[in-house]
Amino acid sequence: AQSVAQPEDQVNVAEGNPLTVKCTYSVSGNPYLFWYVQYPNRGLQFLLKYITGDNLVKGSYGFEAEFNKSQTSFHLKKPSALVSDSALYFCAVRPIRLRGGYQKVTFGIGTKLQVIP
């Protein structure tokens, strides 16, 4: 069974400092990996994804994520945090489809990012 672990319930970072939100995963075969952001009382919004290729993936709002196959990790990063980045962040995994069928997406429990002015 596939799973996603987000080991930190909350990450606090000062505005202007770099931020990292951690994610590790477990899946059979090669993964599709995703990060989503949820602002209060809103739905989830797609930030970025890893399919294949370059291990460093760039996404929306200046976020990036680094895929590390040996450590089965997909940490979300941003060089300089903004107060407006404060939100709930979800990591998600889906196995790459080899032949036919629906592949389910599994989400982590979410990490609350608090950027302090």
Partner 1 sequence: NAGVTQTPKFQVLKTGQSMTLQCAQDMNHEYMSWYRQDPGMGLRLIHYSVGAGITDQGEVPNGYNVSRSTTEDFPLRLLSAAPSQTSVYFCASRRGGGGRTGELFFGEGSRLTVL
Smallest gap from Cβ 2 to partner 1, in A, equals: 11
Residue 8 or 17 with smaller CB distance to partner 1:
8
Residue 102 or 117 with smaller CB distance to partner 1:
102
- Report DSSP state, residue 60: G
Q: Look at the alpha carbons of 103, 53, 71, 10 in this order and tell me if their dihedral is positive or negative.
A: negative
Q: Is 109 in the site for partner 1 (CB under 8 A)?
A: yes
Binding to partner 1 (CB under 8 A): which residues in 58-77?
none
Note the Cα 110 to chain centre separation in Å: 9
Q: Which two tokens stand for residue 73?
A: 């990790």
Smallest gap from Cβ 43 to partner 1, in A, equals: 4
Smallest gap from Cβ 10 to partner 1, in A, equals: 12
Alpha-carbon span 80 to 78, nearest angstrom: 6
Applying CB under 8 A, which part among 13-21, 37-45, 60-68, 76-84 lies near partner 1? 37-45
Q: Do residues 116 and 13 make contact, with C-beta atoms less than 8 angstroms apart?
A: yes
